[in-house]
Amino acid sequence: MFNDLPKFVFLTGKGGVGKTSLACATAVGLADAGKKVLLVSTDPASNVGHVFVIEIGNRITPITAVPGLDAIEIDPEGAAAEYRERIVGPMRGVLPEKALKGIEEQLSGACTTEIAAFDEFTALLTDDTVTGAYDHIIFDTAPTGHTIRMLKLPGAWSGFLETGGDASCLGPLAGLEKQRARYAAAVDSLSDAARTRLILVTRPRVSSLTEAARTSRELADIGIGNQHLAINGLMPEEDLGDALAASLIARDHAALDGMDAQLAALPQSRFALRPENLVGLGALRRMNAPVDLAKVAARKTETDLPPLAALIDGIEAAGKGLVMTMGKGGVGKTTIAAAVAVELAARGHEVLLTTTDPAAHLTETLAGDVPHLTVSRIDPEVATRGYRDHIMATKGAGLDAQGRAMLEEDLRSPCTEEIAVFQAFSRVIREAGRMFVVMDTAPTGHTLLLLDATGSYHRDVLRHAGENAGHMTTPMMRLQDPDKTKILIVTLAETTPVLEAARLQEDLKRAGITPYAWVINASLAATGTTHPVLAARAATEGPEIAKVRNGLAIRHAAVPMLAEDPVGAERLRALVGRAPAIA
47 has a pLDDT exceeding 80: no
Q: Distance between CA 243 and CA 531 in Å, rounded?
A: 9
The CA distance from 349 to 554, in Å, is: 25
| 405 compared with 320, residue with greater pLDDT | 320
Helix 110-126 × helix 180-191 angle, to 10° = 80
Q: Percent of the chain having pLDDT more than 90? A: 31
Options 12, 14, 15, 18, the catalytic residue: 18
Domains defined for the chain, CATH in brackets? 8-291 (3.40.50.300), 308-574 (3.40.50.300)
Distance CA 98, CA 261 (A): 50
Nearest-angstrom CA–CA distance, 33 and 78? 34
User: Which residue is catalytic, options 12, 15, 21, 168?
Assistant: 21
80: helix, strand or coil? helix
Residue 473 has pLDDT above 60, yes or no: no
Check 29, 43, 141, 440 and give the catalytic one: 43
pLDDT over threshold 70, residue 177: no
Contact (Cβ atoms closer than 8 angstroms) between residue 493 and residue 520:
yes
Whether pLDDT at 470 is above 70: no
Q: Which residue out of 13, 14, 15, 19 is catalytically annotated? A: 19
- Name, in order, each residue with C-beta under 8 angstroms of 151's C-beta and a sequence gap of 6 or more: 115, 118, 173, 183, 184, 187
Transcribe 226-262 into DSSP letters. -EEEEEEEEPPS--TT-HHHHHHHHHHHHHHHT--HH
User: Which pLDDT score, from 0 to 100, does residue 472 have?
Assistant: 44
Q: How confident is the model at residue 46 (pLDDT cuts 50, 70, 90)?
A: low
166 is catalytic: no
Q: Which of 13, 15, 16, 109 is an active site residue?
A: 16
User: Residue ranges of the alpha helices (H) in 46-138?
Assistant: 48-52, 76-88, 97-106, 110-126, 128-131
Task: Choose the catalytic residue: 20, 147, 207, 495.
Answer: 20
Collapsing DSSP to helix, strand or coil, 40 comes out as: strand
Q: What number is the average pLDDT over the span 42-46?
A: 63
Of 236, 227, 234, the C-alpha closest to 271 is 234
- Report the pLDDT averaged over residues 402-428: 77
Longest dimension (CA), the chain: 75
Q: Is 18 labeled as catalytic in the residue annotation?
A: yes
Residue 202: active-site member? no
Contact in structure between 112 and 172 (CB atoms under 8 Å): yes
User: What percent of the chain has a predicted confidence (pLDDT) above 70?
Assistant: 81
**Smallest Cα–Cα separation from 517: which of 357, 301, 326?**
326
User: 259, 205, 291: which is closest to 17 by C-alpha?
Assistant: 205
Q: Which whole number is the average pLDDT over 289-305?
A: 70
CA-to-CA separations, 455 to 93, 407, 433, 508, 534, in angstroms, rounded:
24, 19, 23, 18, 49
User: Distances in Å between the alpha carbon of 299 and those of 136, 149, 296?
Assistant: 38, 48, 9
pLDDT tens-digit readout, 367-383:
567 899 998 888 888 88
Cα separation, 444 vs 500, whole angstroms: 12
For residues 503-512, average pLDDT: 87
* 126: annotated active-site residue: no
pTM for this model (two decimals): 0.76
At residue 468, the pLDDT reads 44
Classify residue 468 by its DSSP letter.
G
Separation between Cα atoms, residue 559 and residue 130, nearest integer Å: 47
Residue 269: pLDDT above 80? yes
Is 194 a residue whose pLDDT tops 50?
Answer: yes
Backbone angles phi, psi at 146, to 5 degrees: -60, -45
Is 523 assigned a catalytic role?
A: no
